[in-house]
Structure 1
Amino acid sequence: MITLASAVTPTLLAGATLASPVSVAQSVFWESVDQLWYVCQPDGTPEDMDRVTVSRLTADGTLLDKMFIGRSGHGTGLCVERSAAGTHIWTGAVPSGGWATALARIPYVPNATADASDAAVVKTPRANVHRVSASIDPTRRQLIFRWQSNNVSSPTAEGGIDRYDLGAAAAGTFTPLQTLPFGASGKTLQGFTSLGDHVYHLYGDQNVDNFTVTCTDWASGTVLQSQKITAFPGLTNREPEGICVYEDTLAFGIAAKPDSVRQLNVARFPHPGTNPWVTVPFNEAVYTPNSVNYVPQFRTAGDQVHVHFSLSKADGTAWTQGEKLFQLPLRARPNRTQRLIGVVTGGAVTADTMTVRFEVAPDGYVTIWDERTLVGWVGGDFSFWVC
């Protein structure tokens, strides 16, 4: 379970400009394979309220491209399925009164236009439901589907949340693995997602100091946590919009609309406790690990990263100043360069220190810095804070 805490909310995006200038974001999704943000905005005009614009942003918030989705809905549910078949977005379809009543699974094509209500892409987990939206739990490959039994605004809405196997849902088979009913919350829903055994909801209103994230147990329906969010104070027309899984924690969006642009700000909650070791790719033609136990690897423990490796040059040549050994993934990168101490084989030095300096830069590269033209293995067992 993620620990919800307002005091520690590292910023992921600050003032990222979205593709459409006419409406704020309604949902946000982090796609971890390509390390990209997907953000959904309604068109903003009464006659086209069922059209949405999907902005695709790089990890640092640079607008990469966009896609227009017609006959979709309000844009309250956007999630991304990444597989061998490519990238597909799940969004609303078959709108009624501007709100989706079904889902669509559409291949993402940069700068293209698609029709979410085309029969070829429509998916209908349940019939006769209202104001539906979806999310994806990438840790379990599950599609999370929220539906209302009454066609009313979220404070008085009643309905349920289903979870389905994502692969089966993509093929059009919807057999609920579980359904969690909900009653009237009295609050404005601005997004939801699932991570493991828990459902998380984002609530709040524009320019009102009532932003809240709750954590609900899937098994019992009990609300286990409720946390007020104070991130990004002082924004123009500040409004909570969207929550999603970000690596092994959660990220939430705060929209703003200064002047004629629409911006999105995203922060995350602290990473959870100690996670398993994860192997890091490296150039096996250039570097050789001492054994299978010494391949480059890392693990996160809260907001701390542990790194473990021991490598030799495959051709027996010396290490050079500034040589990049491997690159850590985004969730394990510091926000400023970390200078760290490792070791070198005793056979490489005579009457000199066996320590060697490494650096981990914000781009994730682990780099060696030593002027002695060392020959032999070098290794590290070190840790640093990502924020």
Structure 2
Amino acid sequence: MIKLASAVTPPLLTGATLASPVSVAQSVFWETVDQLWYVCQPDGTPEDMDRVTVTRLSADGALVDKMYLGRSGHGTGLCVERTTAGTFLWTGAVPNGGWATALARIPYAANGTADASDPAVVRTPRSGVFRVSASIDPTRHQLIFRWQENNVSSPTATGGIDAYDLGMAATGMFQRVRSTTFQASGKTLQGFTSLGDYIYHLYGDQSVDNFQVTCADWASGTVLQTQAVTAFPGIANREPEGICVYEDTLAFGIAGKPDGVRQLNVARFPHPGTNPWVEVPGLSPAYYPNSVNYTPQYRIAGDQVHLHFALSKTDGTAWNQGEVLFTLPPRVRPNRTQRLLGVVSGAAVTADTMAVRFEVAPDGKVTIWDERSLVGWVGADVSFWVC
């Protein structure tokens, strides 16, 4: 289960401009193979009110290309299937009153167009349902299908969520592997996804401070966690839009409309098992950090220990071979000596490498090993070991 908490900073995307100037984003998906964001917007064109624009963004938010999908619906629940045959979009199809009643599986064509309600691409997990959307659980290779039994707005809707094997669903074969129901939430749904044994929903309204993410158990439907979302305060027309699996955690979108431009902002929750940075206790007065940001500190992230520091010697003398910089507490000590690569002040070397070696011993002592009698600060920014 993802432990819902305040969003991690810095955010994944800030103010990314989308391809369509007509409406804000409705859904977002992270495709991990090509490292691209896919974002869906209702197009709102007078000649085809059910057309959507799919924007592809690079990992840092640069516009890559786009695709238009006619007869798709409102643009909720976009997800992406990456195969050896190419990239396929799962999106809405056969709209009724602007909202999809079926799904479509469409090959992505950069700057191309497609008809999402073409029978050749339509997939119908259930008939007689309303306002459907889909997600993909990459950990189980499952297509997750959310449907309403009544054609009403989400606060008063009832319905269910089904899971299907993604490979079979691609061929049009839908045999449910698990299913759950939901009752009226009283909240505006802005996206959902599944990860392992849990379902996550994003709720909220534009420019209203009521955004939240919930975590529910697949087996019982019981809500286990609720987390208020406070990321990106002050954005014009701030509205939550879309949630998806991002690596081994969750990312969510918040749309903005400053001066009429349609932008997307994306943040994520902490990775499972990632703990806050903790200052190493008992630093000797013989050393001082470059700044408060470089005081020796560690954090536990899954099965890794991360180490971060930059130190100078108080008396300005050279670093000695095997000199102990500080000692880590027992809970983060390795079970064997670990060698770490660090950096040294550029002023300390001339026409030579700025790399320096540290060792972390099972007794927690962090030592420096370099025969050059270095003078200046030494540090490690991204060093880690497995605990």
TM-score (norm 1): 0.74
1:221 aligns with 2:248: no
Deviation at 1:305, TM superposition (A): 5.1
1:40 aligns with 2:40: yes
Aligned residue number for residue 24 of structure 2:
24
Equivalent pairs, count: 313
Aligned residue number for residue 231 of structure 1:
231
CA distance in 2, matches of 1:146, 1:175: 15
CA distance in 2, matches of 1:186, 1:93: 26
SS of structure 2 residue aligned to 1:11: coil
8 A contact 2:30–2:37 mirrored in 1 = yes
Letter in 2 for 1:168: M
Deviation string for 1:322-372 (max 9, x for gaps)?
79xxxxxxxxxxxxxxx98446xxxxx99668xxx89778xxxxxxxxxxx
Q: 1:16 to 1:322 in 2, by over 3 A?
A: farther
**Structure 1: stretches of 5+ with no match in the other structure:** 276-298, 312-319, 324-338, 344-348, 362-379
Aligned residue number for residue 66 of structure 2:
66
CA distance in 1, matches of 2:216, 2:131: 21
Alignment of 1:288-367 (within 5 A): 300-301=301-302, 341-342=357-358
Deviation at 1:45, TM superposition (A): 3.5
Aligned residue number for residue 113 of structure 1:
113
Letter in 2 for 1:102: A
Deviation at 1:83, TM superposition (A): 1.4
Deviation string for 1:16-37 (max 9, x for gaps)?
0000001000000000111100
Letter in 1 for 2:164: Y
Q: 1:310 to 1:302 in 2, by over 3 A?
A: closer
8 A contact 1:102–1:122 mirrored in 2 = yes
Larger Rg: 2
SS of structure 1 residue aligned to 2:155: helix
SS of structure 2 residue aligned to 1:173: coil
CA distance in 1, matches of 2:356, 2:246: 27
SS of structure 2 residue aligned to 1:259: helix
Letter in 2 for 1:70: G
- Identity percentage over the alignment? 73
Deviation string for 1:140-186 (max 9, x for gaps)?
11100000100000001110000111111111111111111011110
Deviation at 1:80, TM superposition (A): 0.4
- Structure 1 segments of 4+ aligned residues over 6 angstroms from their partners: 306-311, 320-323, 349-353, 357-361
Q: 1:309 to 1:26 in 2, by over 3 A?
A: farther
CA distance in 2, matches of 1:304, 1:96: 52
8 A contact 2:339–2:357 mirrored in 1 = no
CA distance in 1, matches of 2:49, 2:77: 15
8 A contact 1:136–1:142 mirrored in 2 = yes
Aligned residue number for residue 96 of structure 2:
96
CA distance in 2, matches of 1:14, 1:199: 26
SS of structure 2 residue aligned to 1:168: helix
Letter in 2 for 1:73: G
8 A contact 2:7–2:270 mirrored in 1 = no
Q: 1:381 to 1:63 in 2, by over 3 A?
A: closer
Letter in 2 for 1:196: G
CA distance in 2, matches of 1:243, 1:350: 48
Alignment of 1:102-251 (within 5 A): 102-251=102-251
SS of structure 1 residue aligned to 2:12: strand
TM-score (norm 2): 0.74
SS of structure 1 residue aligned to 2:271: coil
Deviation at 1:77, TM superposition (A): 1.1
Q: 1:340 to 1:108 in 2, by over 3 A?
A: farther
SS of structure 1 residue aligned to 2:260: coil
Q: 1:218 to 1:260 in 2, by over 3 A?
A: same
